[in-house]
Structure 1
Amino acid sequence: METYLIFHEGFELPLFASYPLLGTAEGRKRLRTYYRRHMIIAADCGMGFVLESPTWRASRRWGEQLGHDAVELRRFNLDAIALLSDLRAEAPQGKPCIVSGNIGPRGDGYRPDETLTAEEAEAYHAEQIGWFAETDADIVSAFTITTVAEAVGIIRAAKKKSLRTVVSFTVETDGRLPDGTPLGEAIKRTDAETDGAAEYLMINCAHPDHFRHAVAAGAKWLERIGGIRANASRLSHAELDAAEELDDGNPAELAGAYDELLDMLPNLRVLGGCCGTDHRHVAAIASACRHHNPQGVPV
């Protein structure tokens, strides 16, 4: 969402935060347009949809840098879910439409917050998760998580609020987390330290070429991967950080990679895009992968 709004629609989003758009009528209008475009793609392909809130940066550490206190941040998070609940009413009947409260890492989504313990992560994220617990959110989804400790803390905090959780790991060009942990080890440790409490785990913010080798082994832990939101670009995170122009890759090529991943990952059911992707990529993915999806589960 953020790369699309910045590079295609000309928005300025300090700290890559889209949640402040909820504060204006024009911003809310643009967000609705963005979501509706993707909902139509899912409906046309007979698939369900996950409405992911624009709150990746709407937690205390990032909000304070943007000039928002806890009262304002709570309101942004509640307003985000209210907007998605309204949009859900427009979704076709008979297909799943899930409202997800989205959270991001306490630190940078490209660099590991190595000082954060699971206990500290739980305490930090409990605030935003608590706000989601006041709403109609069906699930909490944490994206661009760079360490097992933070993943564990998020899952524990959500469990205490009786909210289902999904955690999505950032991986580098070598298929490992930014702190060097192999993807399989990260998934196994996260489950071991939370009694497998997450609904499923995901990979995001990397091109399929970066992690294909890691998921090609046929290991048991692959069954825990339920979603992929890949980058269209093959650039590393360091290269993406320094880029002044958007690398939006090739939608058809990316869709073909997703089709291959569906053959490798037995429980993969949530498909989307991360940096550099937009409705063109999602439409191509949905079209290429619809034959895997007879039940119309979310894309």
Structure 2
Amino acid sequence: MSGNRFAFPPSRDAIFLTDGGLETTLVFLDGVDLPCFAAFPLLQSEEGRIRLENYFRPYIRTAIERDVGFILDTPTWRANPDWAAKLNVTPEALADVNQDAVRWAASLRERLADQSERILINGAIGPRGDGYRADAQMSSEEAQAYHAPQIEAFREADADMVSAVTMNYAEEAIGIARAAEALGMPVVISFTVETDGKLASGETLQSAIERTDQETGHIPVYYMINCAHPTHFDGILSAKEEWTRRIRGLRANASAKSHAELDESTELDPGDPADLAQRYRSLRQQMKQLSVLGGCCGTDHRHIDAICEACLPTSGWAA
């Protein structure tokens, strides 16, 4: 994709959108039963594939209308061995699941975009454990071995990139970055933080990013923050500090509740889309390199539309 402004990684001026909160939208807004909060089993039926397509369609349409790129995640956040075992999916079948997810996303790209190069297929990697708790930590070597098969499946199915999201301790991120490099895949690392701006492990975001860079030789193409409300981390970001310049993406939660509160919630908290959008705008004014914009838990297409209105001129380029 060299030579076009939708190439990966995004340039300083080019913007890429992502979707919002896939699983929370399916469960709370569409009434879909997702055991273990896993979306990948939907790929096993025509009805499930239609649901996924209907979910992604408005996001892709918005990206096309705004003349920006789109990073299309595979619905594979839970498609690793531990979570798959809870759903009676064997390790042997899991490779096919992850490859099929990439092929499905590529088919969706061909159907919905007249310029397929504007959409990047992103193999989504979730944590081995719970994204909200760092209670079963691996060494970086263990994490590399654990996540490598999923990354290899994404590569074999021709994904454009991989992203590790909702990372809550550095060793898992380091292992994933090393596995991606060994397999020749561009990788993005996205950390989540608690209300105090620290990872669930207690490590600061600055330390996690700097340590991941130091121990991998700056393998990640860039970093993101996801699954946290801007009020949980905006106070620790400064455009003057070198480590913050490595953050180029933001997928915030709609709700300002803590992870513990969200875990106990029986109803979706959609927050205030307009307020969330203005917080994105403020962060982009402070951190000019923020070029990947999307949502996480509780966000839907309304939030992404509001973010576009607040952050993007009609041309789709950074203000």
TM-score normalised by the shorter chain: which range applies? Answer: over 0.9
CA contact (8 A) 1:47 1:95 kept: no
**How far is the alpha carbon of 1:115 from its aligned partner?**
3.1
Moved over 2 A (4+): 92-96, 291-296
TM (normalized to structure 1)? 0.96
Tell me by how many angstroms 1:114 deviates. Answer: 5.1
**2:260 equivalent in structure 1:** 238
Matches within 5 A, 1:182-193: 182-193=204-215
1:232-283: per-residue Cα shift (whole Å, max 9, x none)?
1000000000011110101111111100111122321101000000011011
CA distance in 2, matches of 1:86, 1:47: 20
- The 1-side partners of 2:315 and 2:75 are apart by 27
Q: CA deviation at 1:292?
A: 10
Per-residue deviation, 1:295: 4.4
Cross-structure match for 1:41: 62
Deviation, structure 1 residue 218: 2.3
Which of 25, 37, 42 aligns to 1:4? It is 25
Partner Cα distance (1:224, 1:92) in 2: 32
Q: 2:90 aligns with which of 54, 65, 69?
A: 69
For residues 31-180 of structure 1, the aligned pairs below 5 Å read 31-89=52-110, 90-93=112-115, 96-113=118-135, 115-180=137-202
Distance in 1 between residues matched to 2:131 and 2:293, nearest whole Å: 20
Contact 1:175 1:182 in 2 (8 A): yes
Map 1:18-29 onto structure 2 (within 5 A).
18-29=39-50
Q: What SS does the corresponding residue of 2:312 show, helix, strand or coil?
A: helix
Moved more, 265-274 or 165-174: 265-274
Partner SS for 1:106? coil
**Cα distance, 1:42 vs structure 2:** 1.2
* RMSD after superposition: 1.5
Q: How many residues align?
A: 296
Q: Which has the higher contact order (CA 8 A, sep 6+)?
A: 2
The residue that corresponds to 1:249 in the other structure is 271
Aligned partners of 1:234 and 1:62: how far apart in 2? Answer: 27
Counterpart CA distance in 2 for 1:197 and 1:293 is 32
Using the TM superposition, give the Cα deviation of residue 71 of structure 1 relative to its aligned residue in structure 2, in angstroms: 2.5
Determine if the alignment matches structure 1 residue 222 to structure 2 residue 260: no
Match in the other structure for 1:285: 307
Q: Equivalents in 1 of 2:315, 2:213: separation in Å?
A: 27
Question: 5+ residue gaps in structure 2?
Answer: 1-21
Say whether residues 1:198 and 2:258 are aligned partners: no
> Is contact 1:164–1:198 with CA below 8 Å preserved after alignment?
yes
Shift of 1:97: 1.3
Residue 83 of structure 1 and its aligned partner are, at CA, apart by 1.1
Normalising by structure 2, what TM-score? 0.90
